[in-house]
Structure 1
């Protein structure tokens, strides 16, 4: 399953590697504050990632949750495309009215997955990866724009009220609601590499606050999380006064995490070979640059806002030794500041199982190919 697009405007693509010399600005020496969120660690599960259920992957099995638990993990994130649990004519573009047509049988499948996770003591974070009027990915025609159109925002609130009602009696220790995957403004919703920009702070606040109210209407103790602006990379200062945690990403720099990924690079076959640390193109990549990148998120923790890294990892074309060296620094910076993480994904190109890397000596694990070195690195934190 291909990981979503990255933006030129975030500075994460290889094409944005332009500055020279090592990054500066080391992490603060002040003692870390206690994160309001638990230091969950786990995986993204892509069972409901596709807007078309017929194109979905093999469902996550109960034994997978047992393995996660036995390996020491306690968290799964479910990035869902809202059309995956709707009933409508898929031979044409969806209409605004059809956005409200919940398919209860599809929802039952989501419930089943949530129940299996809870059975094995894993926290579940429900996320709208595709919401009415917005997705970081192309591949589905939205009938409106979440950031500019009130009908889209009304539908967004409807969906979150639905899920909040569905899990009205479930403790926030067991379930949370991650409002929207990787927000940004996008010029062309159907162009994977179209130019993007930040969601204006006032707009983000309006959308997040309305969804928060729709959720808390059902249970005032429901736990709500918002992905960072600029495709998850930037803190959202406009909502820090709200009772909403924030979710960062573990993909910086993109030349490491998305090396040769065709959905994230305009010329994937002509990229400089990634190194960690080392000079790549015109930029020196190092732990210091990661310290700089995560500094605002660490400061957010110190201000009393809960922070979690909802996605992290690298596609399977990144040399494995480079990936592990970089990822070790990412996880060390996050976890030393009390910030948990979720790998994109459990099984697949970014995962600990069946990632199809050419340079890994896989271990046979119940018929799957296990990346033991990656698993051990994650377990360390």
Structure 2
């Protein structure tokens, strides 16, 4: 890769951040200091996912305006997870499925776009969690064809590790207080990987362990102190004591119960309009799901914390079809349980159907915020946790 002036400038700034000489580093140091007050080895970072590189096509993502990052910091949040689709930073023909010989075609100009967002977040005092949402050989989403299977094929694993080696080397100068790596989003196996509605379940834990260990060792060989996180199995929700022998933190989800968080979501239900109404507490047959159900749901994750494994909730929130009062009532209980256990969170998106901005809910009186539509009640619910 050619080294441009902008790349050199970024690395110089990265090295400065890594020494703790900036305001951003001081903010992150404070977050790590808070860990001493909790059993949880991870800071309770609180913030949002930024979906700028979420699309396979680099020009079709959900742009993160510079002011978004500033607002996140100004409102008191300290976390940004950046889920990335790996084709977004490659030089490839996007008119057809990617081939095995193309998965390493790194495009320096596209990588520098990621650098810019990482730098912007860190400069505002946000801890950045860099995540491969679509990785070589796997993505929980359907609608495209991968050339191999990350969980079964050595060629895919080699490519996966090579991508993480690239990121580890690129950001070697950034402290773990400012940057962590989230290996792969929501491991899951479908009977038909090209059908979003195809049934599936958790990845075999022997396969997950092998993949996670190989990537972890690759990253640690570049920077031993780098903080690395593994998403829960079965789509992110299943805690993994089987990975306890690895130097990995783990990332849970805040979407339980799913009928509330993903009410009428088209990528979940084939016939969204047939989905019955929801309320909170939620009645399911003879069961009533309330905050105690949420506590039971997180019990395996709390058990990991008790074992000395750091836990963070990398994704959470609610689709915009759930009635707003139901959403806020339910999510308030989710946040309460997370806070009880020192677990931070990342709302799935900042602006969009899950976000505090521009969520297009039909039952919200939005506040105009510099031309954006702000869900003030949702924002204040989140800020109460800070």
What is the TM-score when the length of structure 2 is the normalising length? 0.89
Q: Which residue of structure 2 lines up, in the alignment, with residue 110 of structure 1?
A: 114
The answer to whether structure 1 residue 34 and structure 2 residue 36 are counterparts is no
RMSD: 1.1
The answer to whether structure 1 residue 171 and structure 2 residue 139 are counterparts is no
In 2, Cα distance between equivalents of 1:191 and 1:75? 32
Of 52, 55, 59, 2:60 maps to 55
In 2, Cα distance between equivalents of 1:328 and 1:268? 25
In 2, Cα distance between equivalents of 1:250 and 1:375? 17
Q: CA deviation at 1:336?
A: 1.3
Q: Which residue of structure 2 lines up, in the alignment, with residue 260 of structure 1?
A: 264
Cα 1:63–1:54 change in 2 (3 A) is closer
In 1, Cα distance between equivalents of 2:87 and 2:283? 43
| Contact 1:228/1:234 (8 A) holds in 2 | yes
Q: Which residue of structure 1 lines up, in the alignment, with residue 241 of structure 2?
A: 237
Of 199, 203, 228, 1:199 maps to 203
Q: Which residue of structure 1 lines up, in the alignment, with residue 338 of structure 2?
A: 334
Give deviations 1:339-372, integer Å, cap 9, x for gaps: 0000011000000000000001111101000000
| Contact 1:125/1:176 (8 A) holds in 2 | yes
In 1, Cα distance between equivalents of 2:204 and 2:142? 21
In 1, Cα distance between equivalents of 2:286 and 2:219? 46
In 2, Cα distance between equivalents of 1:317 and 1:234? 25
Q: Which residue of structure 2 lines up, in the alignment, with residue 325 of structure 1?
A: 329
Q: CA deviation at 1:78?
A: 0.4
In 2, Cα distance between equivalents of 1:33 and 1:118? 24
In 2, Cα distance between equivalents of 1:92 and 1:321? 44
Q: Which residue of structure 2 lines up, in the alignment, with residue 133 of structure 1?
A: 137
Q: Which residue of structure 2 lines up, in the alignment, with residue 5 of structure 1?
A: none
| Contact 1:33/1:301 (8 A) holds in 2 | no
Q: Which residue of structure 1 lines up, in the alignment, with residue 153 of structure 2?
A: 149
SS of aligned partner of 1:269: helix
| Contact 1:33/1:302 (8 A) holds in 2 | no
Q: CA deviation at 1:242?
A: 1.1
| Contact 1:275/1:285 (8 A) holds in 2 | no
Q: Give the total of aligned pairs.
A: 349
Mark the runs of 5 or more structure 2 residues left unpaired by the alignment.
1-36
SS of aligned partner of 1:295: helix
In 2, Cα distance between equivalents of 1:62 and 1:56? 15
In 2, Cα distance between equivalents of 1:281 and 1:373? 31
Q: Which residue of structure 2 lines up, in the alignment, with residue 88 of structure 1?
A: 92
The answer to whether structure 1 residue 287 and structure 2 residue 287 are counterparts is no
Q: Which runs of 4+ in 1 moved over 3 A?
A: 280-283
Q: CA deviation at 1:262?
A: 1.0
What is the TM-score when the length of structure 1 is the normalising length? 0.90
Q: CA deviation at 1:92?
A: 1.6
| Contact 1:362/1:372 (8 A) holds in 2 | yes
> 1 or 2 for the larger relative contact order (CA 8 Å, sep ≥6)?
1
| Contact 1:272/1:280 (8 A) holds in 2 | no
Give deviations 1:236-283, integer Å, cap 9, x for gaps: 121112110000000011110000001011321111211101424664
